[in-house]
A and B are shown apart, each in its own frame.
Chain A
């Protein structure tokens, strides 16, 4: 018995190196052993907290050390509405739109809570810093911090400010094995209500050390931005030669 069990546990240990899937969990009757049941609940709790934990624009602004910022909200007044009404999350609150500074900006960075403000708190400021450092000749607008926001809110922001390019850094839908994953969406000359996801380039899973690093994300993003400026297109017309993930519903 003990020899067999030992061999089996060694096998599962070896197999677990090949996948994050929850395999070889054992059984209590037909059900999961207590430890695994509670571990699943802990992972689910982390994912749920990520979805519902409030966005703290102040903390993100502090992380941006010196870069000017503007705060806006979407037309979705609260989290419950946000989750049920993606259309509202894509539009700026009318009052907030009027407060956005208009200028000849080459790019505006929008930091949006999306489905995980945890991801945004952890990673967004660093990605903006690293990317801005690679954009010598670019006229960069104040960073917009957007609450209850979906990706397409960036179109509205860029349009209102007169920015040519928009980069939206947004918290991705949390899975149980990754609740703090940041996505970056790049759009050139977006038109609110007209631009679709096919017109964007995306980097997903920015989440060091397990996912994409800040330097790696900034390098790819700045490279794509330079090429977008030269070619005048983003999205399916601008292939990320490094192999980008798909645009997800956000």
Chain B
């Protein structure tokens, strides 16, 4: 089926729904690299006019990637809930935008609608929305998950404490861990990207984190971000795995490039659920995504970068994850060129993930060869804080010495909590108070010597 529009007397034609979505997407280097971007600004706007007229129901009958060849397409269509879809079933994409912005769309109606939405529908409507629209709608959506802390409650912002070290040195990791805890970070997860995927190294880190969490009775969870098969193997051997991590993408072929299948994820989910290590909840999975991964794996099937990213969220929601974050600026300027493109992608990913029912957080970040700086981090943080992001990733001083990229810092999270009046996860907040790290206003106290510094003293010895 083809799509057409006339803009100021000129007729534009788009041969397929995938082509229309790609042409309607805001400018980004990855779509240009893939040869999918609109040829001109006029063509982009013409595509949006045409897209606004497309009935939402068309996305159920015109899969962008064939049902027969892609298990993500099958997952999306097989799990679609027509009853949940009913309230918007008669709308076009343009009408859906207006419905989302209206008073009819609120926390309760949006939660009920979520199983009726597909990634393609939310990606499509996002292309008609401005940055402020993406904030306004995402802010209305509530997704609450829990393990040892509760994530996503109104007025709360959690953080991932990321104490990476280039050689996984335990004292180096512990030093960064201590720094983060003293700055009130770590309620979403204490999560390490290990330098190697060797089961021995991963297990050592898991035991280090588990030891600290138990000893100081911290109401949080740990995660060492290894491959899902390594986690399955370690769980079988009795390692202290709280959350199972995996990077996922929006097509079967892109997932294959990560070495994962839905079957493998099912297996890991079952195994982690059986461990019952959570105290206040049972969400056991942690997923990372990011625009560009399908293109990078040459597995995008002619679908634009953002729409393919939204399809990854269909994979994530199958497993009721505790945490999902887009690693938005990590992959490099060939996919998102500068701060402006990274900000737009961050708002799109957060919006799409939340509408699909996910506890969306972000790694607000950039690499040094992208055209971005710490002011872009501040802008993104502020907008995503207003949009109600569940959590953000924080590193010491915003400089990750293992992955060589720039992210938000623990200080940045303090800033965001302060200016927006946000508080940590309730269990973690109570813990911070119990060990004397909160002042009378509920803010993180600047401390000198503190009992927690024993973590550092022992490992530095």
Contacts and interface: CB of A to CB of B under 8 A. Distances in A.
A83 B333 contact: yes
Interface in B391-427: 395-399, 401, 404-406, 409, 411, 414-415, 417-418
B6 interface: no
The interface size bin for chain A is 35 or more
A32 B334 contact: no
Chain B, interface size category, equals 35 or more
B63 interface: no
B404 A173 contact: yes
Contact of A51 (B337, B368, B405): B368
A16 B165 CA distance: 12
A21 B399 contact: yes
Given A30-B414, A31-B411, A18 B460 contact: yes
B399 A40 contact: yes
Given A8-B448, A87-B33, A176-B368, A18 B401 contact: no
Interface stretch (B49-57, B172-180, B432-440): B172-180
Interface in A73-99: 83-87
Nearest to A5: B448
Interface stretch (A41-49, A138-146, A156-164, A227-235): A41-49
Interface stretch (B128-136, B223-231, B343-351, B449-457): B449-457
Interface in A1-22: 1, 4-5, 7-8, 11, 14-22
Given A11-B453, A27-B446, A86-B33, A16 B374 contact: no
A174 B370 CA distance: 11
Given A27-B446, A176-B399, A85 B33 contact: yes
Contact of B175 (A23, A29, A85): A23
A136 interface: no
Contact of A7 (B332, B418, B448): B448
Nearest to B448: A4
Contacts of B239: none
B354 to A, nearest CB: 26
A177 interface: yes
A238 B125 CA distance: 49
A115 interface: yes
A11 B368 contact: no
Contact of A30 (B169, B334, B337, B411): B411
B172 A173 contact: no
A178 interface: yes
B411 A173 contact: no
A173 B369 contact: yes
A84 B449 contact: no
Given A19-B176, A21-B165, A83 B369 contact: yes
B171 interface: yes
Interface string B173-191: 1011011000000000000
A148 to B, nearest CB: 13
B169 A177 contact: no
Contacts of B163: 21
Nearest to A178: B404
A59 B110 CA distance: 62
A154 B409 CA distance: 39
Contacts of A18: 169, 171-172, 175, 459-460
Contacts of B369: 51, 83, 115, 173-174
Contact of B179 (A14, A24, A29, A41): A24
B367 interface: yes
Given A19-B175, A83-B333, A84-B29, A27 B411 contact: yes
B32 interface: yes
Given A18-B171, A19-B169, A177-B399, A41 B334 contact: no
Contacts of A85: 33, 334
Contacts of A16: 175
A7 B405 contact: no
Given A15-B175, A16-B175, A173-B369, A22 B396 contact: yes
A23 B179 contact: yes
B70 interface: no
B411 A32 contact: yes
A34 B453 CA distance: 25
A18 B461 CA distance: 10
B58 interface: no
Indicate the member of B172, B175, B296, B409 with the most A CB atoms within 10 Å: B175
Contact of A175 (B333, B368, B373, B396): B368
B397 to A, nearest CB: 3
B268 to A, nearest CB: 24
Contact of B368 (A17, A20, A48): A48
A102 interface: no
Contacts of B368: 44, 47-48, 50-51, 173-176, 179
A121 to B, nearest CB: 17
Given A7-B449, A176-B368, A22 B33 contact: no
A48 B459 CA distance: 35
A60 to B, nearest CB: 21
Contacts of B29: 83-84
Given A15-B178, A18-B172, A249-B332, A8 B449 contact: yes
A44 B457 CA distance: 31
A177 B33 CA distance: 30
B453 A23 contact: no
A44 B374 contact: yes
A51 B368 CA distance: 8
Contacts of B179: 21, 23-24
Nearest 9 Cβ contacts at the A-B interface: A22-B397, A175-B404, A19-B172, A30-B414, A47-B368, A15-B175, A4-B448, A23-B179, A18-B171
Interface of A: 1, 4-5, 7-8, 11, 14-27, 29-32, 36, 40-41, 43-44, 47-48, 50-51, 83-87, 115, 173-179, 249
Given A23-B179, A83-B337, A84-B334, 16 more contacts: A4-B449, A8-B449, A11-B460, A18-B460, A20-B166, A21-B164, A21-B165, A21-B175, A21-B395, A23-B178, A32-B409, A36-B397, A40-B399, A41-B373, A51-B368, A177-B401
25 contacts: A8-B453, A11-B460, A14-B456, A14-B460, A19-B173, A21-B163, A21-B164, A21-B175, A21-B179, A21-B396, A22-B396, A23-B176, A25-B397, A30-B411, A43-B399, A44-B368, A50-B368, A83-B334, A83-B369, A86-B334, A115-B369, A174-B368, A174-B404, A175-B401, A178-B404
